[in-house]
Amino acid sequence: MNAAARRRVLVAGVMAAWLVVPGAIALVLLFDDRLADAGRADLAQGVSEGAVYVLAMLSAATVGAGLAIQRPRHPIGWLFLALGIVQALGPVLTGYATYGAIARPGSLPLPGAAALVADSSYLMWFVLIALVFHLTPDGHPLSRRWGWAAWATVAAGVIAIAAAFVTPAAFDPPLDGIDNPIVSGDGIEALRILRIAAGGVTGAGVLVAAVSLLVRFRRARGLQRRQLLWMAPAAVLIPLLVAAAFLASYAESQAALDVVAGLFVVILPLATALAVTQYHLYDVERLLSRALTYALVSVVLAGVYVVVVVAVGAAAGGSQLSAVVATLVAVSVAGPAYRRLQDAVDRRFNRRRFEAVRMIRDHVHDPPPDVTIEQILRRAVGDPELRVAYWVDARREWVTGDGRQVRPGDDDVELRGHDRPIARVGSAGAARELVEAAVAEARPELDNAGLRAAVALQLVEVRESRVRIVSAADASRRRIERDLHDGAQQHLVAMAVKLGLARRAVDGDVGALLDELRSDVQETLGELRDLAHGIYPPLLREHGLGEALR
C-alpha cells in the first residue's frame, strides 16, 4: 500500500471514529424521546440542557481527529479522539440502561451491563486526561520515572473499573434504580476497599500528571516552554475537576461534575492542540498575561463594587445611591488597577521582556533628542549589533536610518502597518521573542524613524547628484585642458618657430611686423599654457580657495 492509499485509509478511519460522537448524540435524543413516550421524561438526559457536555465531547473528538490526521504518529490526537468517544458513549449507555431497565423493563438486552459501564466511564476520562498531560507536547513522558507514573495511573484505572464491575455499590442517578448484574448482596469488603483505593489512585494520577507537566514547564526552555504555556488555562481547572468528581460521587449529584468536567474537557483539547501544533508561540505569553490581567481586574472591580455598595448602602439606608457610587468608584479604579496589575503580571511572566518593553515605552513617551530608536532597541535587547532597516514605499527599497540602501535578512523581525512593511529589525544576539516584543512596543517611533529615513534617502540622492554634476564638470575641464595642450598649444609653438625663421630672412618694416606677430603668438601661447595647467571654477580663480569652499 502506497503513501496515498495509507493516507486515505487513515482519514476514513479517523472520520468513522469521529462520527461516533454525533451518532451518540442522536441516540441520546432518541432515548429521551422514547422515555417521554413511556411516561418517564424525568429520566431524559436533555442534550440541550447539557450543552457544555455536548460541546466538550465535540471539542475532544474534533481536535483529536484533526491531530490524528495531521500527525498520526503523535499519541495526543488518538487520546483525544478516544476521550470524545468515551464521553459520547456514557450518555448513550445511560439512556439505554434507563429505558431498558426502568422505563420499559425487559425491552432491551443487558441494561444492567450498560449501566455498569456508564457509571464507571468517568474513570476512563481520568486515565486519558492523565496520559494527555504526561505526553504533551512531544508525545513522550518527561522521564522513565514519570512514564512509570503514567502506567500506574492506567493500571489503577483498569483496577478501579474491574473492581466496580464486581462490587454491589449503588449507581449514580438516574441509574440508581438498577442493580449490578454481575454481583448482588453485600459482596466482598476487600473489593469495595480496592475499588475506592484504585479510584483514589486514579484521581491522584491526574494530579501527578499535572505535576509532571509543571515540572516539564520549569525545565523547558525556548520553543517547548512557549508550547507548554498554552496548557495554563487547562491546568487551572485540574484541582476543581478532581474535587468536583469526588464530591459528586459522595453527594450523588452529577451537576457539579458535569459543569466542571465539561468546561475542562472543552478547554483541554484546544489548549493541547495549540501546544502540539506550535500555534502563535511568540504571542502566547502576551495573550496569557493579558487574559490573567483582565481576570484579576474583574475580581478587583467586583470586590470594590461590593464593598462600596455595602458601605454606602448601610449609610444611605439601601437607596440606589449605593449602586451609583459603586459604579463611579469602579470606573475610576479600573484604569490604574489595570496598569498596575498588567505591570505586575508582565514582570512575573517574563522579567527580561518587561524591562525591555518598559525602557522602550519610556523612550516613546519622552524621546531624548540625541538618542535614536535604534540605540534604544540595542540597549533594550542587549545586542549592540542590532540593525534596523526601513521600508521606503515610494522607492520600493530598504534603507538605513541615514538613508543608505541596505538588504535586510529574511529572518529579521518585520513590523507591518496598513498592509505594508514599516521596518525590519535583525539581531543575532537576542532572543527572537524579546526582539518581537521590543519592536511591537517601538512601533510609533519606528514609524516616525521610517519617515525620517525616507527624507535622508532623498538627501543622499541630492548629494550623489551634486557629486555626479561636479564629476562631469571636472571631466569636461580636464578634456579641454588635454585638447588645448595637445592641439592649439602645439600649433602656436610651431607658428612662433616659423615666424622666428621668417624674421631672419627679412629686414625693415616687414621684420618689425614679424617681431610683433611673434610677440603676440608667444603671449597667446602663455595664456594657453596657463589654461592647460588647469581650468578652475570662477569663484576659486577670482577669490581663492577659502571662498570656493564656502
Query: What pLDDT, in 10s, does the model give residues 41-97?
Result: 777 776 655 677 788 888 888 888 888 888 888 888 888 889 889 888 888 888 888
pLDDT at 266 over 70: yes
Task: Note whether residue 11 is domain-resident.
Answer: yes
**Model pLDDT, residue 291:** 61
Q: How far apart are CA 253 and CA 247, in angstroms?
A: 8
Asked whether 425 and 439 are in contact (CB, 8 A), the reply is yes
Task: Please give the grid coordinates belonging to residue 246.
Answer: 469526588
% of the chain with per-residue pLDDT over 90 = 3
In this structure, is residue 358 part of a structural domain?
no
pLDDT of residue 91: 85
Does one domain contain both 11 and 151?
Answer: yes
- 243, three cell numbers: 474535587
Any idea what the Cα angle at residue 160 is, between residues 156 and 166, rounded to 5°?
145
CB 421 within 8 A of CB 415: yes
Same domain, 234 and 314: no
Which of the two residues, 145 and 466, has the higher pLDDT score? 145
pLDDT above 60: residue 540: no
Give the distance between the most distant pair of CA atoms in the chain: 165
d(CA 267, CA 261): 10
- Residue 257, burial from CB neighbour count under 10 angstroms (0-12, 13-18, 19+): buried
What sign does the CA torsion over 45, 46, 51, 54 have? positive
H/E stretch holding 422: strand 420-426
What is the C-alpha radius of gyration for the chain, rounded to an integer number of angstroms? Answer: 43
Place of cell 503513501: 3
Residue 72: exposure state from Cβ atoms within 10 A (0-12, 13-18, ≥19): middle
Written as nine digits, the cell of 35 is: 422515555
Which residue type, as a one-letter code, is found at position 58? L
**Closest to 103 measured CA to CA, from 49, 169, 31, 47:** 31
Q: Which of 144, 130, 132, 139 is CA-nearest to residue 73?
A: 139
Q: What is the pLDDT of residue 351?
A: 72
Boundary residue ending a domain (349, 377, 394): 349
Residues 120 and 149 in one domain: yes
**How far apart, in whole angstroms, are the C-alpha atoms of residue 195 and residue 201?**
10
| Whether the predicted pLDDT of 151 surpasses 90 | yes
Strands 420-426 and 387-392: antiparallel
Sequence-ordered list of residues with C-beta below 8 angstroms from that of 537, at least 6 positions apart, any chain: 548
Q: What is the dihedral of CA 291, 294, 297, 299, to 10 degrees?
A: -70
Instruction: Please tell me whether residues 225 and 342 are part of one structural domain.
Output: no
Does 265 reside within a domain?
A: yes
pLDDT for position 192: 78
Q: Quick one: 214 and 325 in the same domain?
A: no
How far, in Å, CA of 74 to CA of 233, rounded? Answer: 22
156 lies in the same domain as 223: yes
3-state secondary structure of 219: helix
Is pLDDT above 70 for 142?
yes
206 lies in the same domain as 302: no
In a domain, 525, yes or no: yes
β-sheet bridge partners, residue 515? none
Provide the grid cell at 244. 468536583
| Per-residue pLDDT tens over the stretch 291-328 | 667 667 777 777 777 777 777 666 665 556 666 777 77
pLDDT at 244: 63
Predicted confidence band of residue 156 (pLDDT cuts 50, 70, 90): very high
Q: Render pLDDT for 486-530 as a digit per residue (tens, 0 to 9).
A: 666 666 676 767 666 666 666 666 666 666 776 777 777 676 666
Residue 41 has what DSSP assignment? G
| Whether residue 295 is found in the same domain as residue 248 | no
Do the domain assignments include residue 374? no
Inform me whether the pLDDT recorded for 6 exceeds 80.
yes
Q: Let me know the angle formed at the C-alpha of 353 by 351 and 354, rounded to the nearest 5 degrees.
A: 60
Is position 334 within any domain? yes
Domain boundary among 256, 279, 302: 279
pLDDT in tens, 382-423: 888 888 888 888 888 888 888 888 888 878 888 887 778 888
Our measurement of the distance from residue 420's CA atom to the centroid of its chain's CA atoms, rounded to an integer in Å, reads 20
* Rounded CA separation 281/279 (Å): 5
Indicate whether 159 and 268 sit together in one domain. yes
Give the Cα separation of 248 and 478 in Å (integer).
101
Q: Are 35 and 44 a contacting pair, CB within 8 Å? A: yes
Q: Are residues 265 and 311 in the same domain?
A: no
Residue 454 has pLDDT above 90, yes or no: no
Q: Count the domains in the chain.
A: 3
Residue type, 195: R
Looking at every residue in the chain, the average pLDDT score rounds to 76
User: pLDDT tens digit string along 420-438?
Assistant: 888 888 888 787 778 888 8
Please check whether residue 342 lies inside any domain of the structure: yes
383 within a domain of the structure (yes/no): no
Same domain, 169 and 34: yes
> Within its chain, how far is the Cα of 155 from the centroid?
38
Q: Among 136, 34, 42, 31, which residue's Cα sits nearest to residue 80?
A: 136
Task: Read off the amino acid at residue 257.
Answer: L
Three-state DSSP class for residue 163: helix
The position carrying cell 543622499 is: 460
Predicted local confidence at residue 314, as pLDDT: 66
Task: State whether 191 and 210 are in the same domain.
Answer: yes
Domain interval for residue 15 = 3-279
Residues with Cβ < 8 Å from 258, sequence gap 6 or more?
Answer: 50, 52, 53
The one-letter code for the residue type at 141 is P
Contact 242, 206 (CB under 8 A): yes
Amino acid symbol at 458: Q
The pLDDT value recorded for residue 238 is: 61
CATH of the domain at 150: 1.20.1070
Q: What is the pLDDT of residues 176-211, one digit of tens each?
A: 667 777 776 555 667 778 888 888 899 889 889 888
User: Of 275-284, 426-435, 461-470, 501-510, which range is least confident?
Assistant: 275-284
- Grid cell digits, residue 366: 519622552
Q: Check whether the bond before 137 is cis (ω within 30° of 0).
A: yes
* Side-by-side strand order, sheet with 420-426: 397-399, 387-392, 420-426, 413-417
Give the 3-state secondary structure of residue 537.
coil
Chosen domain end from 279, 313, 329? 279
pLDDT at 371: 84
Task: Using alpha carbons, select from 177, 24, 180 the residue that is nearest to residue 101.
Answer: 177
List beta partners, residue 390: 399, 423
pLDDT at 249 over 90: no
